[in-house]
Amino acid sequence: MLRDRDLVSVQEARHKVELAWAAFEKYRHFTQEQVDAVVEAMAAAGKAHAERLARMAVEETRYGNVKDKVGKNLLTSDLLARHIRGMKTVGVLRELPEKKIVEIAVPMGVVAALVPTTNPTSTVIFKSIISLKAGNAVVLSPHPRAIRCTAETADLMYRAAREAGAPEGIIQWLEHPTTEAIQALMRHERTAVILATGGQGMVRAAYSSGKPAFGVGPGNTPVLLDTSADLPAAVEQVVVGKAFDYGTVCTSEQALVCEASLKQQVLVELKKQKAFLCDEGQKQALAGLLLKENYRINPECVGQSPTRLAEMAGFAIPPDTSILVAEVEGVGKQHPLSVEKLSPVLALYFVRDFPAAMDTCEAVLRFGGYGHTCVICSKDEARIREFGLRMPAMRVLVNTAAPQGSTGVTTNLPPSMTLGCGAMAGNVTGDNIGPKHLINIKRIAYGVRKAEDVLQVPPLGEAAPVSAGAVVDRAAIAAAVEKYLAERGVSVAAVPARPAPAAGAAAEVVDRFLAARRAPKPPDCSTCALETRPAAAPVPPAQPVEPPKPQITITDFVCEADVRAALEKGRKIYIGPKTIVTPAARELAERQEVLVVAERK
C-alpha cells in the first residue's frame, strides 16, 4: 500500500487520466446534438451556483471579493455558453463545393487543465465547458491553495454532464495536486493537450512537457489616456477595471499614462471615483510591501482590498476607497510599482505629449507584460490606429475597462479565461482560447486538375522558354553585366566584342571575361638565379601568447526588456548569486539560453 504522499499523488494522476481516456473513447462518438445537450446542462449548473461557488473561492483563497467572482462565474457559464451556442465542433464542420474540400472536426482526447488560485471556480467552469464542447475529456489540476472550491466546481460540472448523458469519468480532478502529480498529468501518454493558466513556473513546465500546450504570459496592462478622450468616463472605466476582484485578473490595469496638460483634471476625476492618492512615503511603503527582494509579488497582498493593503503598509485610508494610486516617474527596476501588482494599486504617469505616452506604454508592456493587453481611451481614430499598430500586445482595447474588455464582456472578443500572448511572449497563439483551439481539422480533398496543368517543368538541361512576345534588349543586358563586373574590379574591355551568340547577351559578356582570364601570363621568375641568393636565416618558432581573458560585467538586475535587448544584439547576460531576475525575464532567458552564471572576482 502506498503511503508516500508524492507517490500517491502520481498514482492518482495516472489513474484519473486513464478514467478520462476511457470516457473519451465513448464521448468521441457523440453527435453534435448530444454534445450540445451536455454543455448546456453544465452551463446551467454553473449559472445556478455562481454565487455559492464565488463565496467558497473567497473563503478558501482569501483573494478577491464575492461580487466580482460571481461575475467571473457568469462570464464562463452564461456569456460563454451563449457565444458558443450553435458552434459546430463535431463531425463535418463545413463543405466547400467550389474547392472540392470537406472539413471534419477531430477531438484531441484528454485535456490537462491547470487551474490558478486567483480564478479557481470560473476557470473550472470555463475549461470544462470548452473541453467537452470540443468533444474531449478533461482532467483538472487545482492550485494547492484552492483545492476545495476547485473540486466542488468540478464535481458540479461532472454531475451536470452525467445527467445530460455524458459517459462516466468524462471530467476528472486531482485531489492531491503535488508538483510530481502535475508533471505526471502533463506527461502522461494519454494526455493530448495542456491548458496552462497559472504561475510562470507551471506554464514553463507545460511547454517543456513535450505535449501541445496553450500557455499564457504575465500581464502588465498600460492605459493611454489621450487628450481627445471623454476624460470623466475614461477615468471611471480605469478605476472600475482596476478595482474588479481587487486586481486579480491578469489584464487588470497596471498603469495610467496621461499627458501633463491633463494632470489636474485627472486627479480630480480619480478622487471623484474614490481613488486614494498616495504621497511619497505611502508609495514607498506600498512598493516595499507588494514586492519581495527578487521582484516576485508578495502572495499575501494578492487580491486584497485597498483598506487591507493600506493597513499592511502602515497607513490609514477611508473605508470606501476604490483603489490606491501612486504617481511613478519611470519604468524599470528602479520603479517597483511599474510591474504587475495583482492588487488594486495603480501606477500613474504624467508625460510630455502623445509620443512620450506611447513610449511609456510600450516600456510598461516590455517590463513584464509583453504580448498581453493594453488600452487606449481616445476619440482620435488616427491615434487609436497608431497605438494599436505599435504596441507589442495581442489585445488592444479601446474605450473600455481592461478586464471586462479583454475577456469579451464589453467587447466582441470571444469570452475566455485563457488569453494567449503570441509568439513574442513564447505562447503558441495570441487568441482568446475557446473550443475550436481544442479540435484538429481533418480535410477530405478531391483531385481537380493534373499536375502538368500547373507545374510546367521544362526538360532537364534546357533553359525555361521565354514567353511569347517578349522583347530581349541584349545590349542593355550586356551593359548591365559589364557594369557589375567593373564595379568589382574586373575588366572585359581587353577582349574585343563579338556578335551576341545564341545563348544571349549575358553569355557573350561572360565569354569575353573568360577569354581575358585565359590570356597568357608573364613567366614566373620567382625561381630565377636560386644559386646566387643567400639562404634565409631560420625563423625561430613563435612563442605561444595567451589570449587576454574577456572582461565580463555581472548584472545586478535583469528584466524582460534586458533579455530582449541581449537577444537582438546576440550577447549573453552575466549574473551572480545576488542578481535579481524578474520571472518574465527568467522564462524568456531560459528558452533562449541568454543568462550565464558567473562569480564576482
Residues with catalytic function: 250
Start-to-end CA span in the chain (Å)? 54
Cβ proximity of 70 and 51 under 8 Å: yes
d(Cα 271, Cα 224) in Å, to the nearest integer?
19
Q: Is 328 helix (H, G, I), strand (E, B) or coil?
A: coil
Dump the DSSP string for 121-148.
HHHHHHHHHHHHHTT-EEEEE--GGGHH
Alpha helices in 372-444 (DSSP H): 381-390, 402-406
486, three cell numbers: 567593373
Contacts for 308 with CB less than 8 Å, ≥ 6 apart: none
Nearest C-alpha neighbor of 202 from the set 484, 587, 508, 566: 587
For the stretch 346-372, what's the b/e string if a residue is b when 16 or more beta carbons lie within 10 angstroms of its beta carbon?
bbbbbbeebeebbebbbbbbbbbbbbb
Cβ proximity of 192 and 211 under 8 Å: yes
Nearest C-alpha neighbor of 31 from the set 165, 172, 169, 193: 165
| Look-up of cell digits 491547470 | 114
| Look-up of cell digits 508609495 | 283
d(Cα 21, Cα 25) in Å, to the nearest integer?
6
Nearest C-alpha neighbor of 77 from the set 137, 125, 41: 125
Q: Is the dihedral of CA 14, 15, 20, 26 positive or negative?
A: positive
Cβ proximity of 595 and 576 under 8 Å: no
- The pairing of strands 92-96 and 101-107 is antiparallel
Contacts for 562 with CB less than 8 Å, ≥ 6 apart: 555, 573, 585
Any bridge partners for residue 259, and if so which?
Answer: 351
- Specify the DSSP class assigned to residue 181: H
With left for phi above 0 and alpha for psi between -120 and 50, is residue 135 left, alpha or beta? left
- Specify the DSSP class assigned to residue 247: G
Contacts for 437 with CB less than 8 Å, ≥ 6 apart: 130, 214, 429, 431
d(Cα 600, Cα 578) in Å, to the nearest integer?
10
d(Cα 544, Cα 318) in Å, to the nearest integer?
75
Any bridge partners for residue 276, and if so which?
Answer: 324
d(Cα 108, Cα 385) in Å, to the nearest integer?
38
d(Cα 226, Cα 258) in Å, to the nearest integer?
7
CA dihedral angle for residue 8, residue 11, residue 12, residue 17, rounded to 10 degrees: 170
d(Cα 71, Cα 57) in Å, to the nearest integer?
13
